[in-house]
């Protein structure tokens, strides 16, 4: 990690000021958090994005790949019932992975997930096909959206810390 003696770079994007129906509000906040994670990679080299920021090995690229797979798992595999088994593990090494490729994959999955959520419309209580949890019941779209807001929000916070350690950039 590079030592930073310059003043901290600060950017801040306020949460959405949406006053809408529940499906629109949930998707708007989820999209806001998704963009916060993607924003943490702006201006970061591929090498720095792969660099672990904590002892567990978590890096900015690992976070984006993890969120990509989580979205696939919940929206497509669990909710829609697409595929015979969940997507590939996020334990796949990031050797050679690039910011552009990982962000593009994440944006593609986001677009697909938003189509799944939009198809449900206001029927947020409608259950999906299966659960990722052993012996669990298939979650409703409301549960999937709230879970993805929680999951993405947690990892946006991790990305904030890792990015600040890399070059001092702070903010949403």
Range of the domain at 25: 18-171
Q: Checking phi first, is residue 53 left (phi over 0); if not, alpha (psi -120 to 50) or beta?
A: alpha
Q: Is residue 77 part of a domain?
A: yes
Q: Is residue 4 part of a domain?
A: no
Q: Is residue 5 part of a domain?
A: no
Residue 29 has pLDDT above 70, yes or no: yes
Q: Is residue 36 part of a domain?
A: yes
Q: Is 140 helix (H, G, I), strand (E, B) or coil?
A: strand
Q: Is residue 83 part of a domain?
A: yes
Q: Model confidence over 31-67: pLDDT tens digits?
A: 999 999 999 999 999 999 999 999 989 999 999 999 9
Using alpha carbons, list the distances in angstroms from residue 161 to 24, 49, 52, 105. Answer: 29, 13, 11, 23
Task: Give the torsion sign (CA, 156, 35, 42, 99).
Answer: positive
Q: Is residue 116 part of a domain?
A: yes
Q: Is residue 162 part of a domain?
A: yes
* pTM for this model (two decimals): 0.88
The b-or-e profile of 12-45 (16+ CB within 10 A means b, else e) is eeeeeeeeeeebeebbebbebbbbbbbbbbeebe
The CATH number covering residue 90 comes to 1.20.120.450
Q: What is the mean pLDDT of residues 83-90?
A: 82
pLDDT at 135: 84
pLDDT at 8: 46
Lowest model confidence (mean pLDDT) among 5-19, 75-89, 92-106, 110-124: 5-19
Q: Model confidence over 100-119: pLDDT tens digits?
A: 999 999 999 999 999 999 99
Total domain count, the chain: 1
Q: Is residue 66 part of a domain?
A: yes
């Amino acid at each position: 990690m590079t030592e930073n003696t310059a003043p901290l770079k600060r950017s801040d994007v306020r949460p959405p000021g949406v006053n809408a129906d529940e499906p629109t509000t949930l998707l708007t906040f989820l999209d806001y958090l998704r963009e916060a994670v993607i924003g943490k990679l702006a201006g970061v080299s591929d090498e720095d994005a792969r660099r672990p920021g904590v002892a567990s090995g978590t890096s900015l690229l690992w976070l984006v790949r993890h969120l990509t797979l989580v979205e696939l798992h919940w929206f497509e595999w669990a909710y829609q019932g697409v595929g015979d088994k969940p997507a590939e593990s996020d334990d796949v090494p990031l050797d050679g992975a690039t910011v552009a490729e990982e962000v593009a994959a994440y944006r593609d999955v986001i677009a697909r997930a938003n189509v799944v959520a939009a198809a449900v419309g206001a029927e947020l209580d409608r259950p999906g096909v299966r659960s990722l949890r052993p012996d669990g019941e298939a979650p409703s779209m409301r549960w999937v959206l709230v879970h993805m807001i929680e999951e993405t929000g947690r990892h946006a916070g991790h990305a904030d810390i890792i990015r600040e350690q890399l070059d001092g950039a702070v903010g949403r």
